[in-house]
Structure 1
Amino acid sequence: MNKVLIPTKLSDVAANTLKTAGYEVIQDADTPLDVQAASHPDTVALIVRSEKVTPEIMDSLPSLKLVIRAGAGYDNIDIVYARKKNVDVMNTPGANSNAVAEEVMAMILAYYRHLVQADTTTRAGLWEKKKYMGSELTKKTVGIIGLGNIGRNLVKRLQGFEPTLLGYDHFLARQRALNIGVTPTSIEDIFSQCDIITLHVPGGPSTHHMVNAELISRMKDGAVLINCSRYGVVDEEALAAAKAAGKTIGYLTDVHPKDAAGEKPSAAVADLLLPHLGANTREANTKAAKRAAEQMVAYFSDGDTSCVVNGESPNGLNPAHLQLAFLLAALARKAGGNKPIRRVECTFYGNLRVFRKWFTAPILEGLLPHAEKGLMPPAAEESLREHGIVFKAREPKDDKPYEDSITLDVVMEDEGEYFNTSVRGVVTEGIPMVSRLNNFNGLYADLRGTTIFLHYKDRPGIIATIGSALYSNGINIDNIAAPADHSTQEALAVLKTNKPVSDELLNKIAGEIDAITAFSLDV
């Protein structure tokens, strides 16, 4: 009988579902996981919430096959080490989205009507009705940054208050945003125009201090900023400085560096501070528990790995080709100016044809930096659809001589106009290389590390100018390719450098050579 540990406070629907299916279940929310693991070394599966699943925990469970996070984020699980131990990891995305959306509604109303303070003073025998003059949510302008499951649920909850809804999601199709009742616009416009701004974006380096001093300075006096996404998305020092300078901003948050008791850095700047209550509802807990149990039964009974987030590629597929797919997608995104992506068509040549579904996840990750990582093929395809991207794998034409290569054609949209970027790549001596970018063939450039791309009118002396500018800033060129398109009299310089090139320096070089386009890729 398979033994399952549930070392967390989770609805008993998970344990009951598993017991009915014939599993032995140990659910204990009070004993530390490492102690339970030592007592139950024959455990084959874990269901956790915020408990950390470390290499030490996995080493103490030699029979472990599966770990399921009853929730969306899984950074409390060492998924890389899990893969080394042949342990699959799953999550239950979307189970908590309604709960978080409702929490945002509660925070807005509590702040606008001073409910927390009014309750405290009234219980103390005071009558401060005049002091707590409130505001109405009705007909306010609300900006939602991030229109994923939570953002879209929030739109539904807000609509009864007759708001003007503005939204920003770089990867959501404009028409799709309009269809759900949101006017898509820029982040800058949201911060300038909205009475309420609510953040629903992933954490990590790409969104760290996304809400900075410049955006905060655009906010109207009396505006409200809500962060129920991840700690660090808001530059709270910049927010504190703006408040100290006299700017009237409400800040409501429930995210912290650690979900644990202790001092909270946001306390000095937040007007409403909660202990990460977003997913903390009976319904969300039940939904996540039920989904986790059902996924586990399907995994062991039917071999269903569609929800695995640390999937391993099949035998016979070189991991370098998966890395190539990621690099080509990232290059296409940068070459297209990071515009919203609408369609991706891929061709896999040679032996790669039989593995084509396994390339969906690395292509997703290259195209959408904020996308969930390590998804299995069906989940990656669903994520692309969620972002409004049509994804198609084409059959190669038999007369094409490309062996074990990948071609990506990416269609992007900008204000109603469509642009196509086409890239091709191969793996040579174990190194993933781009062989073509649009009309420029014969590149064979290694994209790992820092690479700068400069597209310009072909004429003598350009490479020397670029090299001189890099040299003056202490940057060495590790490799260079500079093919020309004689039909257009244009050239493309692709330079791999030994250190990152700042946007300021790249823009300076682009100005000196009158570049048509210039961008860098750091992967």
Structure 2
Amino acid sequence: MKKVLIPTKLESIAANTLKAAGYEIIQEADTPLEEQIKQHPDTTALIVRSEKVTPEIMDALLNLKVVIRAGAGYDNIDIVHARKKNIDVMNTPGANSNAVAEEVIAMILAYYRHIVDADNTTRQGLWEKKRYMGSELTKKTVGIVGLGNIGRLIVKRLQGFEPTLLGYDHFLARQRAINIGVTPTSLEEIFEQADIITLHVPGGPSTKGMVGADLLGRMKNGSVLINCSRYGVVDEEALAALKAEGRKIAYLTDVHPKDAAGDKPSAAVADLLLPHLGANTIEANAKAARRAAEQMIAYFDEGNTSCVVNGESPTGLNPAHLHLTMMLGTFARIAGEGKPIRRIDCTFYGDLRTYRKWFTPKILEGVLPHAEKGLMPEAAEESLREHGIVFKAREPMDDKPYEDSITLDLTTEVDGEPVTTSVRGVVTEGIPMISRINTFHGLYSDMRGNTLVLRYKDRPGVIALIGSTLASAGINIDNIVAPIDHACGEAMALIKTNKPVTDEQVAEISKGIDALSAFAVSL
């Protein structure tokens, strides 16, 4: 009988479901996990919420096969050490989405109608009805930044208030946004036009300080900003400075550097401050508990690993090819100027066709840098579908002599029309190389490091001008490849540099050579 340890206040449906399936369940919420593992060293599986699963805990449980986080985030589990110990880690994404969506609606209404302050003063025996003149949510313009599970549910929950809905999701196809009832707009337009802005983006370096002085400065007086995504997405110092100048911007948040007691940095600037209540509902807890139990049964009884987040690629697949795939996806996305992605078609040649499903997670990570990392193939495909992206792994044509190479065609949406960027790559002596970009063949350029990519009408003197401009900026050229497409009279230069080329420098070079396209990428 498999022993499952649940060291947290998880809804009883998890324990009951597993008991009915023949599992031995130990559920103790008040005893530290470190103490419990001493009492149950034969534990086979763990289900946790926010409890930290450290290398020491895993090392102490010699029979441990799987750890399931009943919730979406799993940064409380050392997934790298788990993989070293051959322990699978799973999560239950989406279980908390509705709870967070409803919290956002509750925060808006609580702020607009002064619910918290009015309750406090009325209990004190005061009658401050005139002081608490409120606003109505009905027919307001609401901007939703991030149209994932939570963002889409907010759209549904707001429908009864007859709002004007503006949406921004860098990676969601325009038509998909329209289909769910949102007018796709830029970030700048949302911050200029919306009465209410709610943020639902992932954390990390790519979104840190995303809402800074520029966007905040565009907000209307009397508008409301809600952050139930991650701490650090909003530059709270910039917001405080605007408020000090007399700008009337309300800030509602429930995210903090740590989910623990103590002083909160947001307290000085927030108009409504909550202790990360987003997922804290009976229903969300029950849903996460049920999914955790069902996933565990499927894992042990059926060998289902679709929800594993620290999966290991199969024996025989060179990790360098996985890295190459992510690089190709990143390169194609940047070459496509970050436009909404509609479709991805991939072809895997030679022996790689055997492993083609294992490339899907790396494709996802390359084309959608904000997407969840480390997913198993089935979950990665589902994530692509949720973003409105059609994904297809094509069969290679037998007459193509591309041994162990990968072709990735990324179709974006530009002014309502599809535009495809096609790239091909290989691994040579362990180095990921890009061998083709659209009609430019024979590149074989190392994808690692910093690369400046320029397309221009072929003519003498262009390379010299590029080199001179880079030299003036103190940038050295490590390598250069510049093939010509004689059919159209165009050339493409891939220039490896010793340091990143800034957007301003790219713009200067592009203008100087009258480039047809120009971008820099660091991989």
Tell me the TM-score range normalised by the shorter chain.
over 0.9
Q: Distance in 1 between matches of 2:447 and 2:83?
A: 26
Q: Distance in 2 between matches of 1:171 and 1:474?
A: 34
* Alpha-carbon offset, residue 392 of structure 1: 1.0
Q: Could you give the per-residue CA deviations for residues 450-494 of structure 1, whole angstroms, max 9, x where no partner exists? A: 222111222223223323333333333232211121222221111
* Alpha-carbon offset, residue 179 of structure 1: 2.0
Q: Distance in 1 between matches of 2:478 and 2:31?
A: 54
SS in 2 for 1:442: coil
* Alpha-carbon offset, residue 265 of structure 1: 0.5
Report what 1:143 is aligned to.
143
Report what 2:386 is aligned to.
386
Residue 326 of structure 2 aligns with an amino acid whose one-letter code is: F
Report what 1:18 is aligned to.
18
Q: CA 1:226 to 1:320, structure 2 compared with 1: closer, same or farther past 3 Å? A: same
Residue 78 of structure 2 aligns with an amino acid whose one-letter code is: D
Report what 2:5 is aligned to.
5
Report what 2:498 is aligned to.
498
Report what 2:174 is aligned to.
174
| Bigger shift: residues 460-469 or 479-488 | 460-469
* Alpha-carbon offset, residue 166 of structure 1: 1.0
* Alpha-carbon offset, residue 39 of structure 1: 3.0
Report what 1:255 is aligned to.
255
| Bigger shift: residues 83-92 or 268-277 | 83-92
RMSD across aligned positions (CA): 1.2
Q: Distance in 2 between matches of 1:247 and 1:144?
A: 22
* Alpha-carbon offset, residue 78 of structure 1: 1.7
Q: Distance in 2 between matches of 1:94 and 1:398?
A: 41
Report what 2:307 is aligned to.
307
SS in 2 for 1:441: coil
Q: Distance in 2 between matches of 1:483 and 1:79?
A: 43
Report what 1:320 is aligned to.
320
Map residues 103-114 of structure 1 onto 2, 5 A cutoff.
103-114=103-114
Report what 1:197 is aligned to.
197
Q: Could you give the per-residue CA deviations for residues 373-411 of structure 1, whole angstroms, max 9, x where no partner exists? A: 111111111111111111111111111110010111111
Q: Distance in 2 between matches of 1:506 and 1:278?
A: 42
SS in 2 for 1:251: strand
Map residues 44-443 of structure 1 onto 2, 5 A cutoff.
44-443=44-443
* Alpha-carbon offset, residue 187 of structure 1: 1.1
Q: Distance in 2 between matches of 1:39 and 1:479?
A: 60
Report what 1:485 is aligned to.
485
Q: Distance in 2 between matches of 1:400 and 1:206?
A: 39
SS in 2 for 1:454: strand
* Alpha-carbon offset, residue 158 of structure 1: 0.6
Q: Distance in 2 between matches of 1:161 and 1:8?
A: 38
SS in 1 for 2:362: helix
Q: Distance in 2 between matches of 1:254 and 1:396?
A: 50
Residue 311 of structure 1 aligns with an amino acid whose one-letter code is: G
* Alpha-carbon offset, residue 440 of structure 1: 1.0
* Alpha-carbon offset, residue 198 of structure 1: 0.4
Q: Does 1:512 align with 2:503?
A: no
* Alpha-carbon offset, residue 59 of structure 1: 1.7
| Bigger shift: residues 496-505 or 321-330 | 496-505
SS in 2 for 1:353: helix
Report what 2:449 is aligned to.
449
Q: How many residues in Structure 1 have an aligned counterpart in Structure 2?
A: 523
**Structure 1 length-normalised TM:** 0.98
Q: Distance in 2 between matches of 1:107 and 1:242?
A: 22
Q: Distance in 1 between matches of 2:178 and 2:375?
A: 28
| Bigger shift: residues 222-231 or 168-177 | 168-177
* Alpha-carbon offset, residue 235 of structure 1: 0.7
Q: Distance in 1 between matches of 2:29 and 2:477?
A: 56
Q: CA 1:57 to 1:476, structure 2 compared with 1: closer, same or farther past 3 Å? A: farther
Residue 370 of structure 1 aligns with an amino acid whose one-letter code is: H
State percent identity of aligned pairs.
Answer: 77
* Alpha-carbon offset, residue 296 of structure 1: 0.5
| Bigger shift: residues 252-261 or 308-317 | 308-317
* Alpha-carbon offset, residue 186 of structure 1: 1.1
* Alpha-carbon offset, residue 243 of structure 1: 0.7
SS in 2 for 1:507: helix
Q: Could you give the per-residue CA deviations for residues 169-203 of structure 1, whole angstroms, max 9, x where no partner exists? A: 12222222222221111111111111100011111
* Alpha-carbon offset, residue 246 of structure 1: 1.0
Q: Could you give the per-residue CA deviations for residues 211-232 of structure 1, whole angstroms, max 9, x where no partner exists? A: 1111111111000000000111
* Alpha-carbon offset, residue 325 of structure 1: 0.9
* Deviating 4+ runs (over 6 angstroms): none
SS in 2 for 1:496: strand
* Alpha-carbon offset, residue 497 of structure 1: 2.1
Residue 111 of structure 1 aligns with an amino acid whose one-letter code is: Y
Q: Could you give the per-residue CA deviations for residues 251-310 of structure 1, whole angstroms, max 9, x where no partner exists? A: 000000110011110000000000000000000000000100110011011100011111
Q: Distance in 2 between matches of 1:237 and 1:496?
A: 38
Unaligned runs of 5+ in 2: none
SS in 2 for 1:435: strand
Q: Distance in 1 between matches of 2:182 and 2:278?
A: 23
Q: Distance in 1 between matches of 2:292 and 2:522?
A: 37
